[in-house]
Structure 1
Amino acid sequence: MKFNFLSKEKTAIVNHEKAKAFPLTAEYELYAAVVTTSLSASFYEKEDTRLERIKALIQKSNPVFVAKLAVYARNEMHMRSVPLVLIVELAKIYSGDSLISKMIVNVMQRADEITELLAYYQMANDRKGVKKLNRLSKQIQKGLAVSFNKFDEYQFAKYNRDGAVKLKDALFLVHPKAKDDSQQELFNKIVNDTLATPYTWETELSQLGRFKYSNEAEKQKAFTQKWEELIDSNKVGYMALMRNLRNILEANVSGFHVMKVCEYLSNEKAVLNSKQLPFRFLAAYREVKEMNFKYTTMVLDALEDAVMISARNIKGFDVNTSIVIACDVSGSMQKNISPKSKVMLYDIGLMLGMLMQNRCQNVVSGMFGDTWKIINMSKRNVLSNVNEYYRREGEVGYATNGYLVLEDLIKRKQITDKVMLFTDVQMWNNAYTKDSFANSWNRYKNIAPNAKLYLFDLAGYGQAPINIQKNDVYLIAGWSDKVFDVLHALEDNGSALNYINRIEL
């Protein structure tokens, strides 16, 4: 499918900083909004505003593209909530074939997503009363019935939670067909609430927390032993281990067990199978770095090793391709991605920028706000590089003067192949001179006609500071290192939408 990148509307628009901006088509705006949302308030948009915009854009978009976008968001961007929104909202306006059921089967990766989808369906359709989920969409019912066959007893038991919609409710509602006798027995266990209690770190620690201890030393010893037991069991998942590094160190486990944790964190197969978003490593790194424990350095090194392994599959550029990487550290980028997270858009931009720097040989990197400053860093320590940028963020101020990156190239008459900005794309000129981002790029193209500009949109507000797919300008959105796969797909003069549209349903 070929998409028309720019809206045909002639109406002038401005971004959130009141600077001239360029509209995107519904599909492109939906893509950017979806892959940059945690469905929580952003700097410029409230949570319900983003959700309402996504719902409106679904109605304006090609249904097949919406379905493929949901699969892309779940399987390549590793997002969980927003693909479920796409399924339910598309099902409201689309029926007639198996698109919705195929969409569901491709999206469902965890057993609790069955109940979460139904919970959102109930809320989105304003269902109240006793039979909140009656008259379920036939295609949703079909897709969920097939999805029940994807999970085993451990997976069902692990996510059999006491939520608004329970697994038992879902089973009665969608009537999945068991593929054999053993699966029918499993479905019966769900109905009778007899699923085996899974061995997880949550259940083990929860049981331990209910005991009464005579003193603090006894409690400390119990938690030390329990964490050592959990580590030895090899049943603590990769993400759970990263989230609990502080707890493990505070539990004062042995050096042998810390070493075992570090070996797992930096194990190539474990890293690649974990499918962690890059900023997860950064969050763990910062949490541990604040601690003054004897094994802190060992854990920090393991996290750096893990990031280097995760970056191996990123296609970089060789010494013959010159790159400029510019990270936006403006005030609007210093917004937490969700109320419960310490990670900011700022962090995601720095992390992605340093990952790309790590994979390129001929590269200049820096950050911009009121000014643009080149700060070249070693390729070897991605996480510590991000922290160094973070420490120095006040050095360039807090505006979004991205045009200064281009003006610096023009001033120095520096010919480069690729200019990459990691930003919320709310560009403006706080000096109020005639210079604008679009004008600066057009002037730069006069001296570097083969240069390409890549805007990595980390916020998805729905506009661009320059016409995309004109004059070698491209917009890529998302928080995962998978954005670099899209980057390389663009080498064939494609688009992010073409990349998504390649997905088979």
Structure 2
Amino acid sequence: MAGENTFYEAAGDRDLRFAALVRTLAVQDPVWTLAFLGWLRGAANMRSASLAGAAEASRALLDAGLPGGRRMIDAVLQRADEPGELLAYWTSRYGRAVPKPVKRGIADAAERLYTEFSLLKYDTASKGFRFADVIDLAHPSASSPAQGELYRHALDRRHDRPFAPAASLEMIVRNAALRARAAADPSVLLDTAALRDAGMTWEDALSLAGSRVSKAELWTALIPTMGYMALLRNLRNFDDAGVDDEVAARVAARLADQGQVARSRQFPFRFLAAYRAAPSLRWGHALDRALTASLANVPALPGRTLVLVDRSGSMFHGTSKRTRLTHADAAAVFGTAVAMRNPGRVDLVEFGSDSKPVTVRKGESLLRVVDRFGNLGGTNTLQAVRRWYSGHDRVLIVTDEQAHPYQTNPGSAVPHDVPLYTWNLVGYRAGHGRSGPNRHVFGGLTDAAFRMVPLVEAGVRGAWPWNY
């Protein structure tokens, strides 16, 4: 996660390591780097890291006199606030002189992404670079006369010029009219169709209504207009407002729908965060089903597997400043998912200074199993492998690899012909063992990580999970 402090390393140090690595790769293999960054923003759903990576890759290509920066930039910008975010990153690193390939990549993205709804949702005073700033700096072309009017509207309101939105901007006109009506009569915000037609976000509707209407009624009107992630984030608010059970049941049905889970591209761990944040039990089953659906990549593994989940102190550092979830949570979800996908063939163990098995009962909720993991102090990885390895066909370790100095190379406790897979969740430079024959180390952890074991064991030259 770009910009995030960790237990052992500051965010700035980590980000500089990442930037240096991307710059090197961009010059050595720009085609691979372009495909990787597009995959990182898309399938892997990593926003900040992919934007920073594209900026650094473009800088390196420019310095080396190579083309490709425009495509790097355009490939990662997939949401309408991201052209501004990339400009903010660039100017903070390299100043306000933005090279032409970078401008053109940002302009390409703005032309794709700037719509009436995206302006209403993302063009807010809290943004360092607003739509008008991007338009002024990058000069995107308008794909249609209506988009040209949208650009003019964005510029007028940014520069405090008197304006009335053009009639062709129907959603913006309706939004302004609904806001004016709501100032006198907030009950107009209880009309779901009016909210949707005006592109009114749930944040804006709550702000406009204040305490003048029932929160339960307002949420009831807003819920049909809300996206999947917005629903997931607001379960506590629905409970606090007293949204009735019939409305809650409709929300739960959307949360549990496998198709919506897949399209939402939420990290599996977000469902655990929602489960812990929601005070009511009425969301639990839906969140458990959603979490299970989000783990569709968990493979069926032949033979017996030992899964070791690190629950040492450093693992309880947050994965992001925007969530209370920890690396220990992520590791527990991963290990439990593998155990539940392979009943009777996986020995699941949590370890720290000591280690102990975690039982997974048939038909049990994954969320309930995760709640049984504990905090086990230090990190004695080698001891855990020695204690629990017993002729298994493979060993999986989910950890931050920060073990005691004398506890290096846990692979020494496993026969050389038995594969050992380590997932370093945090991405520290120092690890507890090297990659090599039957010893595989992966950085980071998303649901895509589950695919790695069968790919490696297939014994063929595997392709990258992106095309290039």
Same fold (TM over 0.5): yes
Give me the whole-angstrom Cα distance separating, in 2, the residues matched to 1:443 and 1:279: 31
Alignment check: 8 A CA contact 2:261 2:293 kept:
yes
Give me the whole-angstrom Cα distance separating, in 1, the residues matched to 2:388 and 2:130: 58
Give me the whole-angstrom Cα distance separating, in 1, the residues matched to 2:336 and 2:200: 38
Mapping for residues 441-460 of structure 1, pairs under 5 Å? 441-445=411-415, 449=417, 451-460=418-427
Alignment check: 8 A CA contact 1:77 1:480 kept:
yes
Tell me which amino acid in the other structure corresponds to 1:102. R
Select 2:275's aligned residue among 285, 298, 301: 285
How far the C-alpha of 1:437 sits from its partner, in A, is: 4.2
Query: 1:503 and 1:104, CA in 2 relative to 1: closer, same or farther beyond 3 A?
Result: farther
Select 1:138's aligned residue among 78, 100, 111: 100
Give me the whole-angstrom Cα distance separating, in 2, the residues matched to 1:165 and 1:236: 26
Matched, 1:333 2:315: yes
How far the C-alpha of 1:404 sits from its partner, in A, is: 2.2
Select 2:288's aligned residue among 281, 300, 304: 304
How far the C-alpha of 1:154 sits from its partner, in A, is: 0.8
Matched, 1:122 2:106: no
How far the C-alpha of 1:53 sits from its partner, in A, is: 2.0
How far the C-alpha of 1:353 sits from its partner, in A, is: 1.6
Tell me which amino acid in the other structure corresponds to 1:481. D
Select 1:480's aligned residue among 439, 443, 446: 446
Select 1:51's aligned residue among 11, 15, 19: 15
SS of 2:415's equivalent? helix
Give me the whole-angstrom Cα distance separating, in 1, the residues matched to 2:47 and 2:358: 35
Matched, 1:226 2:235: no
SS of 1:122's equivalent? helix
Matched with 2:135 is: 171
Matched, 1:236 2:214: no
Matched with 1:31 is: none
Matched, 1:499 2:464: yes
Cα deviation per residue 1:53-89 (whole Å; 9 max; x = unaligned)?
Answer: 2223334434324434422321122111121111222
SS of 2:206's equivalent? helix
Alignment check: 8 A CA contact 1:409 1:444 kept:
no
Cα deviation per residue 1:412-450 (whole Å; 9 max; x = unaligned)?
Answer: xx2212211110011226xx6xxx442x5234216xx2x
How far the C-alpha of 1:254 sits from its partner, in A, is: 1.3
Give me the whole-angstrom Cα distance separating, in 2, the residues matched to 1:82 and 1:69: 12
How far the C-alpha of 1:327 sits from its partner, in A, is: 0.6
Instruction: Tell me the TM-score normalised to structure 1 length.
Output: 0.78
Matched with 2:387 is: 408
Cα deviation per residue 1:447-474 (whole Å; 9 max; x = unaligned)?
Answer: xx2x211101101011321120x23011
Cα deviation per residue 1:74-124 (whole Å; 9 max; x = unaligned)?
Answer: 112211112111122222221245422222222111000010000111111
Matched with 1:76 is: 43
Mapping for residues 54-453 of structure 1, pairs under 5 Å? 54-63=18-27, 64=30, 65-95=32-62, 96-125=65-94, 127=95, 133=96, 135-151=97-113, 152-162=115-125, 163-193=127-157, 194=165, 196=172, 197=175, 198-209=199-210, 222-231=214-223, 234-288=224-278, 291=279, 296-311=280-295, 313-318=296-301, 320-361=302-343, 362-378=345-361, 380-389=364-373, 393-394=374-375, 397-409=376-388, 414-428=390-404, 436-438=407-409, 440-445=410-415, 449=417, 451-453=418-420
Cα deviation per residue 1:113-172 (whole Å; 9 max; x = unaligned)?
Answer: 0100001111111x3xxxxx3x31221111111112322321232111222211111012
SS of 1:474's equivalent? strand
Tell me which amino acid in the other structure corresponds to 1:159. Y
Give me the whole-angstrom Cα distance separating, in 2, the residues matched to 1:494 and 1:333: 34
Give me the whole-angstrom Cα distance separating, in 2, the residues matched to 1:90 and 1:409: 44
Percent identical pairs in the alignment equals: 27
**C-alpha RMSD of matched pairs (Å):** 2.2
Give me the whole-angstrom Cα distance separating, in 2, the residues matched to 1:460 and 1:337: 11
SS of 1:365's equivalent? strand
Alignment check: 8 A CA contact 1:323 1:419 kept:
yes
How far the C-alpha of 1:332 sits from its partner, in A, is: 0.8
Matched with 1:19 is: none
Give me the whole-angstrom Cα distance separating, in 2, the residues matched to 1:56 and 1:98: 19
How far the C-alpha of 1:409 sits from its partner, in A, is: 4.1
SS of 1:321's equivalent? coil
Alignment check: 8 A CA contact 1:486 1:499 kept:
no
SS of 2:464's equivalent? helix
Structure 2 segments unaligned to the other structure (5+ residues): 158-164, 176-198
SS of 1:94's equivalent? helix
Give me the whole-angstrom Cα distance separating, in 1, the residues matched to 2:155 and 2:244: 43
Query: 1:106 and 1:60, CA in 2 relative to 1: closer, same or farther beyond 3 A?
Result: closer
Alignment check: 8 A CA contact 2:54 2:72 kept:
yes
Query: 1:283 and 1:38, CA in 2 relative to 1: closer, same or farther beyond 3 A?
Result: farther
Tell me which amino acid in the other structure corresponds to 1:322. R
SS of 2:446's equivalent? coil
Give me the whole-angstrom Cα distance separating, in 1, the residues matched to 2:291 and 2:4: 27
Matched with 2:5 is: 41
Tell me which amino acid in the other structure corresponds to 1:103. M
How far the C-alpha of 1:492 sits from its partner, in A, is: 4.5
Instruction: Tell me the TM-score normalised to structure 2 length.
Output: 0.84
Give me the whole-angstrom Cα distance separating, in 1, the residues matched to 2:399 and 2:422: 7
Deviation above 6 Å: which 4+ runs of structure 1?
none
What is the number of residues matched between the two proteins?
A: 422
